[in-house]
Structure 1
Amino acid sequence: MKLRALLAMPDLRLRAVTGEDGLDREIRWVVTTDLLDPGRYLSGGELVLTGLVWWSGPADSEVFVRALARSGVSGLAAWDVERGRIPADLTAACERHDIPLFQVPEDVAFATITEQVVRRLSTARAADLGAVLDRHRRLVAGLTRGTGLDPVLELVGRDLGMRCWVLTPAGRLVAGPHPLDTDPSALARAFLTADRLPCHQAGPDITLLPVAEETTSRVADWFIACEGDWSEWPAERRALTDELAAIVALERARLDDRLSTEGRLSQELVRVVASRDDEILPHLKLTGLDLDVPFTAVAATAHGDLRPGELRTVLAEILPDHSLIGLLGEEAIALVPARDDLTAPLRTALSALAPGLAGLAVGVSKPVAAGELRGATEEARYARRLAAARTDPVCVVGHDELATHVLLLASVPDDVRQMFKERLLDPLLTYDEEHKADLVLTLETFLQHSGSWTRCAEQLHLHVNSVRYRIQRIEELTGRDLSRLEDRVDFFLALRLR
């Protein structure tokens, strides 16, 4: 399928912004991304879809488009719902790097574009495939909202006599109109540990097929379990299962809540909790959760090929329902309504996923009242850093393993923490802003070097007398004496609360 064909698809209403000379390029696949540099996840020939979440200025457009050009993508389709436009610098970058750029109408979902392009890309079809795809098109469009994948799988089973199920790597049954006669967790482990996919399980006589192997890490993917040995299937049946995998991938993308109202609320709440500036409870009330139930904070980072968005998917799979999950850079933060300690259940769940994880560090806080979530999040992030320092491929550190000032600070109510920090540091911050000074930096460095004038001066590239003058100014502004251990401890704790 060529890029030019996109302009002839009436349901998409795409408009070519630039790059008309490249409209004869072939589309191999469709990839949706919000990464600033998605280059390592592209292999060439893709139509890339983006909502421009990564864009903050002209320099970002150059980084993003240069990565696409180096990867050999066929074209780019974009729209920024929040700003209601495509930035001019993105158009200019596409012109410089010879990347055809399409504008996506605001009311056309990326899932719709992906679905229609995948349908065109499929060359070998079973006789009834048109009915299958038409059924799924109506599912995605919401005309049979709530029915999910079961009608599609039922159609495949009825017409081909081959029962199929969709599962997650955690062993959760996503869809399947028939009872599954074997242990889902055993199939999930076989999927995670298979050297190559598809793979056949002789015991239950089931073939396991990936849903989006080229674009998704296995541990964050779904998989299809079909009756029979795929090596014995005729070409028509193999073609149908390929199309079925594409359909399941679309359904998985449709159910991804990151761009839903709930997903955006979760992301915003995590940002607020980490920012220390805004009140948490008003944002938490917007989620509709019971604020009288305790919450637990979970922080996680992944090594290897698992991307942050995929880490979020893994957490959403193993955490209780109604968990609020957001990303802070490479780190995923979950705020979980939970009365009980989650450390042991998380260890068990991640142990089952360990074959698909190259490395994962997780920190878990103790359950706290909703108003103490900021402290719980700090506790979880500190526990996560302890986990990352260990050598275990998958490591979960609970709050019971912490015994430092972080645990103490995490238990203090937010208003008390804020007041303590303001009383000690606000005079210094105000002075720094008005006089372009570095009193806060000097204080932090002075404490890091245990009050050594010489080492502090060396670190800051200052004369010792300059350091002495700054410390004297700090003491005058705050009424504290940095020769006293008690005052040093207070400043140290206040700096930790920043």
Structure 2
Amino acid sequence: MVVNSDGGTVTLGEVLSLPVLARGLPKVLAGQDRLDRPVRWVHVTEWASPASALRGGELVLTTGIGFPARLDDYAAELCDVGAAAVVLELGRCYREAPHELVAGCRSRGVPLVVLHCGVKFVDVTQEVHAMILGGQLRTLRTAQRIHDTFTALSLRGAGPDEIIRAAATMTGRAVVLENLAHQALIFASVERVLDDVLNRWEERSRATPSPAERTDVCGQEGWLVTSVEFRGQQWGRLAMLPASPAEQHFHSEHVVILERAAVALTLARLTRETRWEEQAHRDALLDVLEQRQLSWRDTRTRITALGVPVQGRRLAVVVVRVDDRAVLLDKLRARLEGSALVGDLGERGVGVLLSFREPGGWRALAEEITELAGAPVHVGAEVGELSEVARSAAEAEQVADAVPRGGPPGVHTVTDIGLPELLYALREDPRVQSYAERQLAPLLAYDQCHGTDLLATVRHYLASAGNKSIAARRGHLSRQALYQRLRLIEEVLHGDLEAGDFRAQLHVAVAALDAQRAGRAARAEGGAPGK
């Protein structure tokens, strides 16, 4: 689990593979397991004590002419200063590598390479330095490209999804943005499948500590992790996952990309009002409601990574329609964290996907929601699979369309939809409007012309199921006055109120008219019809 310093730095193994050194027939006598050491520079020296001229990371070239009497001390100096390796050319001073030097290098982990044929050290220096400088130039160009990419994203107001997708595309690795609650909010992956990336995310994330420095490889899985800040405080983490569990290596370019992405995310959060937790929950909710996911397994993994378990749970959709959705969203997220996805569905209302263990467990949660909202809540069918949630949502919206907005708090399901609720849902249908007009137009015209209120008498009569005594009491009329009005109504409508069919037709027409008037009242109060 290491971050490889690529680009401007080459490794010892790469240097030894150069033709200029290969001609010397190199053989590694110590540090065979350290050929991945970075070589920062090449230094030719015949000093007995070369440490004063070194800074660390140098490939030391020597013929051994100036070796001190104690070669163990020579190896100790190179180890202390952090030299990348020492290359000894045999033939001029030594026919074979001194045993004391070999033993000293092996015990201290200093790579020792011997050349059995002579080479020109100036050629080695030139080749290696050209490689290092060329790599440094590539590193600068790569850094500029990374800088330009994320600067362009920030300048045009790119959202977090696009920023993380860019980081994943540039590195070929999976990149995940999480908050401090270890909820995976946004992710992008080029090769690894979603379930592989997000499965048991919270558990795996909690087992991966944050780096002591800004960015480092952390945890048993070897994630490259950096912090994401907002207004000077750590807000979350950005994690880049290894290409595979067996390949837990990252390059310095990966570090630069991850850190630049974290800065771009901070800028995006400063310039955008939408909170990413809200957006992540809303997107996941819409994926389920609109069935726009690639697979239900991926959807289940994603929702679980947001902190809402759905495997083996019962599910139900709740729709709430209120004027101030933002306030309700904050209340619901605080109360239902860990048991529901909550999202703003626009004019459709506030959507809630409830997750509960026991059948019927939605009722207690729905009662809490209606209390928090101070408004009716509409609940769809209880289902057992994510693939059935869309049906629950459709039912919840059907109930919401049938219940007039602005009513008292309460929990409504499809079993509460009677004739008035059904006609309220269908009030905008031209066929319903035409029917009500055709049945009641003569009566409404008579009332308007003569200043009467025969429609109210019809309502009382129908509500009393044709019982004249009860209808008279409801209308505060004498029986005789009621009889006179009923006869007049029959004359105006050309029907027999004693006939069951005619009464049923009037009942539907009056309910349809009331639904239309309730819809107009809702619009007058500033609400959209049925919303």
- Tell me if both proteins adopt one fold, taking TM over 0.5 as the criterion: no
TM-score normalised by the chain length of structure 1: 0.34
Give the greater-gyration-radius structure (CA). Answer: 2
TM-score of the pair, normalised by structure 2: 0.32
Higher relative contact order (CA 8 A, sep 6+): 2
